[in-house]
Amino acid sequence: MPRIKYTNSDVDLMARMMRAEAEGEGKQGMLYVGNIIVNRANADCLDFKNIRTIPQVIYQVQGGNYSFEAVQKGNVFYNRARSAEKRLAKKNLDYWREHPAKYGLWYFNPYGPCPQTWFGQPFAGQYKNHCFYEPKAGTCASVYV
């Protein structure tokens, strides 16, 4: 059973986002980004209440800006998803979760050491240039399901 309900266009959009955000960090880095996307669709807490689909996650606006830099800058639209990224996206959507993004809802590339908290959320781990953060204990039980 998949982690969330999805369509072929969701797979394509998610794959394009994964490529735009983390192509330079290889397949593993793209899987971590995909994991954050699926976690946000499953989370019913904090900034992600009533966000249930891949397009809602990817095109979410917070504080007047799109949540993902690849949407803000347009990179998500520069390249079509290749079959390799589509396979990775489908893997995320169906079952894949792994530390440091297993329960993560946020990531960013700080161009320096990862801070121990980011907007009050605890550091979960790092993969190459991306720092991953999960919700504070007790604030988002749905992400741990």
- pLDDT digits 0-9 by tens, 37-50: 999 999 999 999 99
Tens digit of each residue's pLDDT (9 = 90 or more) over 71-108? 999 888 888 889 999 999 999 999 999 999 999 999 99
Residue 113 binned pLDDT confidence (cut-offs 50, 70, 90): very high
Of the chain, the percentage scoring pLDDT greater than 90 comes to: 90
With a cut of 90, say whether residue 9 has pLDDT above it.
yes
Q: Which domain holds residue 48?
A: 8-144
Query: Is 115 a member of any domain?
Result: yes
Is 124 domain-assigned?
yes
Residue 118 lies in a domain: yes
Our CA angle for 30, 89, 130, nearest 5°, is 20
Q: Are 83 and 27 in contact (CB under 8 A)?
A: no
DSSP 114: P
Domain assignment of residue 1, yes or no: no
DSSP 65: E
